[in-house]
Structure 1
């Protein structure tokens, strides 16, 4: 066979092989793209189900009497963190297998949602192999929310654990996870829709909880109801805290705190204080004129004892020597 014919046949055969390989690659790419699109479509559809029905607890289950560990290695049951009558918790779940940037991103989203849903309604469940890992994680991510270590095997029966990424769910006192969702960086709009859904849920839940609590009556006990600041310098702010305890049988909520004038500024938590728990009303006083002062602070809450009057006294002295 002449050399040039052999050369031509070799080239043709090579081109045929290349063409077949290209066809295989194209088919494979289309298959992967189709699977990816299907996966995204399924997740979008799943979120739509959550948005439309308001429930997704069938996607996840919490075992009965599962235990968690706090920062100092104390063990407690998970259901004890979701107290009856205290409302639902938004749980962010992550493990040491998740990428740090993914965890950090979701903590940033939590910080944006916290003013709406209430920081006290946020709970972090992490899984790290070593007992001393949790304080390090808290410091590394600058976490300000309650953080607990949960054994990795406790939730292994849930398929969402296999995605190896942070995910959310809402946990109520019935211990049935709702609104289970794993954000996807390739579907940011879907994730933002979920965040809006969560905010809406807690806005309604918090309003309903406050209305329910305000109809119930409890008892409040202050450690003290008056402070004498003695001699204080004019225009310098002075702060005191009136610590109280809910000594009743139902949640206590401070409805409002009224002061006599603008020189007295109150600060207090608006979340319910559970039976047996303590909180405080903090008062900052800033005297504008010299002389003796006697200021009343009136605290209104859900009890027949309401209102309670607090008092702050002292003498403002001139700043001049």
Structure 2
């Protein structure tokens, strides 16, 4: 018998022998219930970040313009909101974010500055916030139509 056939028979035999037991029989009901309660608590007790809008359009600007906007948000969840970091998809875009926790019901702002130097034509930039929300990551976007400098 060839090596290939022997290897296939070995794998098939291993699969057949390893599937004798019902894996669900090994689950401890108490552990499953505790995990379900934990997941429910995490989902319902997490901070929630609600932005006034998720995108800002600067419209038509001239290449070299430095423009900025703010994204207002509110923590509508049940625990304090923590923003660990804010990163833009390009070095031409600089986000600033609150470093202190935002308590439930409180508001904050994300300030975003865009430098259009060397960025002619249509621009779309993504700002990614790493947070303690259920998703863990939240995003806002800026866009602009940048009129190129005359050559």
Band of TM-score, shorter chain: 0.5 to 0.7
Is residue 312 from structure 1 mapped to residue 142 from structure 2 by the alignment? yes
Q: 201, 216, 220: which one pairs with 2:49? A: 220
Aligned to 1:302: 132
Distance 1:282 1:311 in 2: 12
Deviations 1:98-118 (A, max 9, x none): xxxxxxxxxxxxxxxxxxxxx
Q: 214, 228, 248: which one pairs with 2:77? A: 248
TM-score normalized by the length of structure 1: 0.32
Q: 5+ unaligned residues in a row in structure 1: which ranges?
A: 1-215
TM-score normalized by the length of structure 2: 0.66
Count of equivalent residues: 106
The Cα shift of 1:220 comes to 1.0
The structure whose residues are more often helix, as a share, is 1
Q: 56, 61, 64: which one pairs with 1:232? A: 61
Q: 5+ unaligned residues in a row in structure 2: which ranges?
A: 1-44
Distance 1:301 1:247 in 2: 14
Moved over 6 A (4+): none
On the 8 A contact 1:219/1:305 being kept in 2, the answer is: no
Q: Which has the higher contact order (CA 8 A, sep 6+)?
A: 2
Q: What SS class does the counterpart of residue 258 from structure 1 fall into?
A: strand
Is residue 271 from structure 1 mapped to residue 90 from structure 2 by the alignment? no
On the 8 A contact 1:257/1:266 being kept in 2, the answer is: yes
Distance 2:102 2:127 in 1: 20
Distance 2:133 2:82 in 1: 9
Aligned residues: CA RMSD: 1.6
The Cα shift of 1:319 comes to 4.1
The Cα shift of 1:318 comes to 2.7
Deviations 1:83-136 (A, max 9, x none): xxxxxxxxxxxxxxxxxxxxxxxxxxxxxxxxxxxxxxxxxxxxxxxxxxxxxx
The Cα shift of 1:236 comes to 1.4
